[in-house]
Structure 1
C-alpha cells in the first residue's frame, strides 16, 4: 500500500468518525458508498501547495492562497451527500477554489460547472482539473452570485463560501426537485450549513444542518453594493 493510499484511508476514517459524531444534526448514520468512493478516487494532494503535501489528507481545511482555503474533507463529503448528485446530473459549484470539491462532484455527475471570482485560482484550478483528466468539468472566472445562466437549470448547486442571504439567481437556476447546499451567515460569526429544496411546484423549503465556518462569498452583490 502506498503512503498516499494509507493517508487517504485515514482521511476517510476521520470523515466516518465525524459523520458518527454529527448524526443527530445531519440525520445521517453513514455517507452513501458512491460519495466515499468519489473521495477515495480524488487525489487531494494534487490540490494543495507543495509545502502542504504532508498535510493533504488531514481532515481539516488548508490555505490555498488569496485568503482562500480547501475545505475540510468531512465538509466536502457532507455537502456532496446533501446535494444527492448522481449519474445524469448537471451541477453548479460557486467558488472553484483549488478545484477539489469540483473534482469530487465530477466523479459523480455527468456535467459540472464551476465559477471562481479570483482569477489566479480560476486559472490554476482549470489547469489542475484538466491535467487530472476531468473532461466533464467546465470552469470560468466570474461572480458566482450570478450563477451560470447559460448552463441552467441545475439538478444541484453547491456554494463553497458563506453568504448572509441565499442569492436569488441560484434559486432561479435550480431545477424543480433540485437541491442547493450552502453556508449561510456572516463571515467571522455564526454560520449554518443549509440545504434548500425546490419542489415540483417551485416552492422552497430550507433545513439547517450544522454549524460551519467558511470564507465569505465575495463580489459586488455579496458586498451589498
Structure 2
C-alpha cells in the first residue's frame, strides 16, 4: 500500500534520511513567462532559437512554448550571455555544463510521450524528478510542463547557484534538493517522469522503483560502444520496457554530496 504524501505545493524541510542529505529548499513560483527584466532583443533571439528547435524536429507545442518562455541567458555567466541561445552546451562551474537547447527540448519531449499521457497531447505531466539541477535552467523549463518538479543536485555550489537563479521567478512548484541523485527522493514518489542530466553505467533501480506505473525515465547511460546513449524506460502494469536511442554526451553520474 502506498504511503500517504503531503498535499502540494509544500516547502520541504531538511531531512537526515538516506534518500536525501543536506539542505532542501522550495522556490516559490509565479505562473508566467520567466522574465524579470524583459528585453525585446533577447525575446527575438529566443524566438529564433525556438524556430530552430522546430526545424530540428521538436514538434510538441508544450515543449516549444516552455523553451520560449524561459530566458536561458539568465542561467549562464555574464561573459557567456551572447552565446546563451546558440545550440551549444556552456560551462556553469565545478566542471558542469548547461545542456544544449536541443538536448533539453528533446529529452522533455520524450518525457511528455510517457504512456500515461498517450492520447492526451494537451495534458501536463504530474510530479517529475530531475537528477542534476545544475544552474536551474531545465527545472525552469520543466515547471511549464509538469505540475511539480523535484530537482536534486549533489554539488552544493550548483545547488546554491540554482537557488539564486530561480529565486526571482518565485517558482512554487519547483523544489530544489541538495542530495544524492543516484538514490532519488523516495518521499516524493511516485513520479510521473524522471529526467537525468548525468549518465551512469545504468539507470539506478531506485529511480525505477520511484517511478509511477505509466511513467517514463529519460536518461543517458553508458553504451556498448563506450560512449553514452539516451535511454527511455517506460514502467507498465506488466513490467519495464527499455529503448536505446541516439548517442549523447553528458557529465558522469556520481553518488554522494560534494
State the distance in 2 between where 1:31 and 1:175 align. Answer: 26
Larger helix proportion, structure 1 or 2?
1
- TM-score of the aligned structures, taking structure 1 as reference length: 0.88
State the distance in 1 between where 2:254 and 2:222 align. Answer: 13
Larger strand proportion, structure 1 or 2?
2
1:177 aligned residue: 214
**Structure 1 residue runs of 4+, over 4 Å off?**
none
Higher Cα radius of gyration? 2
> How many residues get paired?
208
Q: Map 1:1-225 onto structure 2 (within 5 A).
A: 2-19=40-57, 30-84=58-112, 86-87=123-124, 89-185=126-222, 189-201=226-238, 203-220=239-256
Q: Secondary structure at the match of 2:97?
A: strand
State the distance in 1 between where 2:56 and 2:242 align. Answer: 23
Structure with the larger RCO, 1 or 2 (CA within 8 Å, 6+ apart) = 2
Unmatched tracts of structure 2, length 5 or more? 1-38, 114-122
Deviations 1:68-109 (A, max 9, x none): 000000010011011118436100000000111111110111
**Displacement of 1:164:** 1.1
Deviations 1:93-143 (A, max 9, x none): 000001111111101111000000000101110222221221100011111
Q: Secondary structure at the match of 2:199?
A: coil
**Displacement of 1:66:** 0.3
State the distance in 2 between where 1:31 and 1:103 align. Answer: 20
State the distance in 2 between where 1:164 and 1:13 align. Answer: 35
State the distance in 2 between where 1:88 and 1:208 align. Answer: 22
State the distance in 2 between where 1:140 and 1:189 align. Answer: 31
1:223 aligned residue: none
Unmatched tracts of structure 1, length 5 or more? 20-29, 221-225
- TM-score of the aligned structures, taking structure 2 as reference length: 0.77
State the distance in 2 between where 1:136 and 1:130 align. Answer: 12
**Displacement of 1:218:** 1.3
